[in-house]
Amino acid sequence: MQVLSKGIRATQLYLPNNPVYQRAVDNIRAAFRQIWQATDDLVFDVGETDLRWEDNVVYSQDQRNESIAWTLYKDGVRSLAFKPGVEETEIVRFLGVLQQARNLQADAADDLLTLLWAQDFQLITYTFRELATENAVPIEAGETITPAPPGTLRQQVQEEAPPKREGLVSIDDFDTTLYFLEDNEIDYLKKDVEREYAQDLRRNVLAMLFDLLELQTYGTVRAELISILENFIPYLLGAGDFRSVAFILRETRAVLQRARELIPEHRQTLEGLPSRLSQSDSLSQLLQALDEATLHPAEEDLAELFQELRPEALSTLMVWVAKLHDPHVRDLVQGAAAKLAQANPAEVLKALASQDGAAQLEMVKLAGRLKLAGAPEGMEPLLASEDRGLKLAVVEALTAIASPSAMRLLEKAIDDSDRDVRIGAVRFLASRGYRNAAARVESMVSGSKLKHADLTEKMAFFEAFGALVGAKGVPALEKLLVAKGLLGKKEDPETRACAAMALGKVRTPEARAVLERAAQEKEPLVRNAVTRALREVGT
């Protein structure tokens, strides 16, 4: 019965020479042939919303406008029987009668019973109940059905009615019909109208186009259909129907997998549809239109479209992230870029190598948020950039990724010309105990590079020295903290305080002994640093 229901839809939408129509009929015939292997006839009891076979519901449909059962029941048919052989020719005619009955106007002279009688079926029988009487007797199958002339029932009611009193106003004088609709009937009609208007006609048309594109093997037909789709995409984008564009791209992938005898030229054109949308010019126009629009499409529609973008769209998305003003569009673009970046490491490197500084910055931030392990490979040239904000973003991203390649780049950043870059790199390496950086840190501490540095930078490097060099660095730190320097002068208080904090990071008995010797230091800055270092060693 489900196959029959689908068959009605197919025979309504397509012509008999269409492959979809032919396939539906073949499915119906195959289903009947399976039935005839088990029984010699098929008899159904017809209800309002269902069909029963031997008291078992075998078909049910609550939507009356789509229900075979309701189409039969409303015109009085109470039982329906099929016999072997019906599938050859009569079943198709029967489906046509059902569809014709659904489309009859309310004032039509014919109804389902007269249509069935006119077909003179030999392998389909039925019984019906006269709707105008309570105790109707079923008429045997094949008996001639004579419909009552239009207006007969109305005339009988008028003849039986008592005479109207003179001067009395009757509602019949103003009503052109004999009966009013019941409330439930009005509600049904309203819902059916709403359902009809709620249908996505564009989606239905596109589905039919793709059905034809998949099933038709003629090259000229396919070329015309592909041309229609190509010209339809700009129109849909202009109309803001992004969900339909995403539907076209998804169905195109399905056609490429299922279509038979698809020539290389057509395959190449279909494969290029998503790529065209992902090209820089097309995607830039789309994003600019979205950002400048006063009325924005639904977020789910845009999300569906962005999911269909190709990897090469990543660089363009990164360029536009910084330009977009609408927060909803920006969030969707960032989400689409994140998915492309996670799935396509090569495109991440291309975006990092972009000539657009804003795009590079956004790609670095995204790589840090996603912790893309392959991104540091493209970040090394950025550390040589003159853009301070970009370099700081690179350091932040590298600390978030923390892969071996990221740690090597942070080690190089210790010698960077920018103070904040140096501090960020050395602090993170010290916190991770990255001993490969010990030599660079030691050269900074023991050399003259920190001579003119401020206290914050000195503190960062000395603490990293204590954490990475460890016990081997105690003699050098002792010399800075308590021993006199050249010509009997001690180091400056800031350097001595930093040396004390570095000893606190070493946390060995030797380091504690050096700190205890300097505990009575008269210089307040050094004495406070020694006290803090001793507390740290004690823990």
Tokens standing for residue 423: 């501090």
401 contacts: CB under 8 Å, gap ≥ 6: 367, 368, 371, 372, 373, 375, 376
- For residue range 46-68, what is the model confidence (pLDDT) as tens digits? 988 899 998 899 988 887 777 88
* pLDDT at position 142 over 70: no
As a whole number, mean pLDDT of residues 482-504 equals 73
**Mean pLDDT throughout 333-351?**
86
pLDDT at 487 (0 to 100): 43
Instruction: Say which CATH superfamily domain 449-539 falls into.
Output: Leucine-rich Repeat Variant (1.25.10.10)
Percent of the chain at pLDDT exceeding 70: 88
Q: Burial of 437 by CB count in 10 Å (0-12 exposed, 13-18 middle, 19+ buried)?
A: buried
Nearest alpha carbon to residue 347 among 337, 355, 361, 356: 337
pLDDT digits (tens, 9 = 90+) for 247-259: 888 888 888 888 8
pLDDT(161) > 80: no
Is the CA virtual torsion 367, 373, 375, 376 positive or negative?
positive
Are residues 285 and 222 in contact, defined by beta-carbon separation less than 8 angstroms?
no
Residue 497: which residues within 8 A CB-CB, separation 6 or more? 455, 525, 526, 528, 529
Contact 411, 439 (CB under 8 A): no
Please say whether the beta carbons of 360 and 352 come within 8 A: yes
Helix-strand-coil split of the chain, %, nearest 5: 65, 5, 30
Strands 56-60 and 124-128: unpaired
pLDDT at 488: 46
Task: Concatenate the DSSP letters of all residues of 52-94 into one string.
Answer: EETTEEEEE-S-GGG-HHHHHHTTTEEEEEE-TTTTTTHHHHH
Q: Return residue ranges of the chain for CATH 1.25.10.10.
A: 449-539
Give me the percent of the chain exceeding a pLDDT of 90.
10
Q: Position of tokens 């990071």? A: 505
pLDDT digits (tens, 9 = 90+) for 189-238: 999 999 888 888 888 888 898 888 888 888 888 899 988 888 888 888 77
